[in-house]
Homo-oligomer: A and B are copies of this chain.
Amino acid sequence: MPATSGQRDGPGAATLKHVAARAGVSPITVSRALNKPAMVSADLRDRVRRAVDELGYVQNRVAGALASAESRVIPVVVPSLSNAVFVETIQGIQEVVQRAGFQLLLGNTEYDLDREHGWIATFLGWSPPGLIVAGTRHQPRTRALLERWGRPVVEIMEVGSRSIDMNVGLSHAAAGAAMARHLLARGHADILFAGCRLDQDYRAGQRFRGFDRALAECGAARRRPLTRDVPSSPALGGDMLVAALRLDPPPRAIFYANDDLAVGAILRAQRDGIAVPDRVAIAGFNGLDISGLVTPGLTTIASPRLAIGRIGAEKLLGAIARDTPGPRRVDVGFELVVRGST
């Protein structure tokens, strides 16, 4: 850009140089006073602080990031914001990175791997020190891009065998199998799996496959899953309950892909006078708070969502700081929470 640029930030937005002049030091000293205060004497630090306050100086992070080839933003790419699971995970990430002075850049793929690639490519252009992405399934070009990139990447939510760099999550197949075994142990034969968009939400699909495989291993009856091609919601869970009971023969238990659906089913059962678990047992997945408050209490699998976010963020920050590497894969596990609904 030549002599005169368009509108810079406000008229006369102060720069390092102005602060330096005011404080009677060189610009680089101001830079150090702000970014690495330990390197500067207390006297100058104070003078700089004062000049900063007087001028209302706001650091230009864009320039800093360009000069150092690294910014203080952490991109987080998730498939959805309507799902409480991702929101809570983001919350865990946010807590940790915010405390370390990083900012969170958010991308929503809406379960579209093309869009995922787009976000990741865009985000790399911000020179972030690392990146967090939900899932271990990506397009080959996305994988290649991240591998070539060479900075830390954490894939969260499910554990996968072929992660790009670091990986924090749980085995959804194992969780599905655990629920199958629980329901069978309780004497509920003929179990129906019910969920939404299992192709997009492939982790729900993994839960189904783990569940189905466990049924097969136990020699139990298997059913085709009941699915809907709209997002999960409590109201839909209730509708799916009604639909399931109209099947011939009706299932004796329903394993919902998530607690939103399952809680809706419990509320609907209560309203319609459907006996749970006597007529039909109901189970969910996630361990939302509300699952323990409905009547009967919902049997579910608690997934440590906040922990996934926190641990993922901590591993990323550790790798950025080039700390002790630690394990590259963390399986945070899950917990079967048995309540009255089964």
- By the criterion CB–CB under 8 Å, are A267 and B294 in contact? yes
CB distance from A297 to the nearest CB of B (A): 9
A67 — nearest CB in chain B belongs to which residue? Answer: B1
Name the B residues within 8 Å of A264 (CB-CB).
293
- By the criterion CB–CB under 8 Å, are A126 and B61 in contact? yes
**Bound-complex Cα distance A148 to B10 (A):** 7
- By the criterion CB–CB under 8 Å, are A235 and B289 in contact? yes
Contact of A290 among B5, B104, B126, B234 (CB under 8 A): B234
Name the B residues within 8 Å of A106 (CB-CB).
94, 103-106
Contact of A267 among B64, B145, B293 (CB under 8 A): B293
- Contact code string A4-25 (vs B, CB < 8 Å = 1, else 0): 0111111100000000000000
Name the B residues within 8 Å of A68 (CB-CB).
1, 6
- By the criterion CB–CB under 8 Å, are A63 and B66 in contact? yes
- By the criterion CB–CB under 8 Å, are A60 and B289 in contact? no
**Bound-complex Cα distance A122 to B294 (A):** 43
CB distance from A91 to the nearest CB of B (A): 5
Instruction: State the copy count for this chain.
Output: 2
A73 within 8 A of B: yes
Name the B residues within 8 Å of A82 (CB-CB).
91
- Give the residue among A66, A73, A121 with the most B Cβ atoms within 10 A: A66
Residues 76-97 of A contacting B (Cβ, < 8 Å): 81-82, 87, 90-91, 94
- Give the residue among A73, A105, A125, A263 with the most B Cβ atoms within 10 A: A125
A69 within 8 A of B: yes
Contact of A124 among B58, B71, B121, B294 (CB under 8 A): B58
A139 within 8 A of B: no
Name the B residues within 8 Å of A125 (CB-CB).
58-62, 64
- By the criterion CB–CB under 8 Å, are A69 and B104 in contact? no
**Bound-complex Cα distance A7 to B149 (A):** 11
A233 within 8 A of B: yes
A200 within 8 A of B: no
Name the B residues within 8 Å of A6 (CB-CB).
68-69
A327 within 8 A of B: no
- Contact code string A140-151 (vs B, CB < 8 Å = 1, else 0): 000011001111
A108-B124 contact given A56-B148, A264-B293, CB 8 Å threshold: no
Name the B residues within 8 Å of A163 (CB-CB).
none
* Subset of 7 A-B contacts with CB under 8 Å: A9-B149, A73-B105, A103-B105, A234-B289, A234-B290, A234-B293, A267-B294
Residues in chain A within 8 A of chain B (CB atoms)? 1, 5-11, 56, 58-69, 71, 73, 81-82, 87, 90-91, 94, 98, 103-108, 121-127, 144-145, 148-151, 233-235, 238, 263-264, 267-268, 270-271, 289-290, 292-295
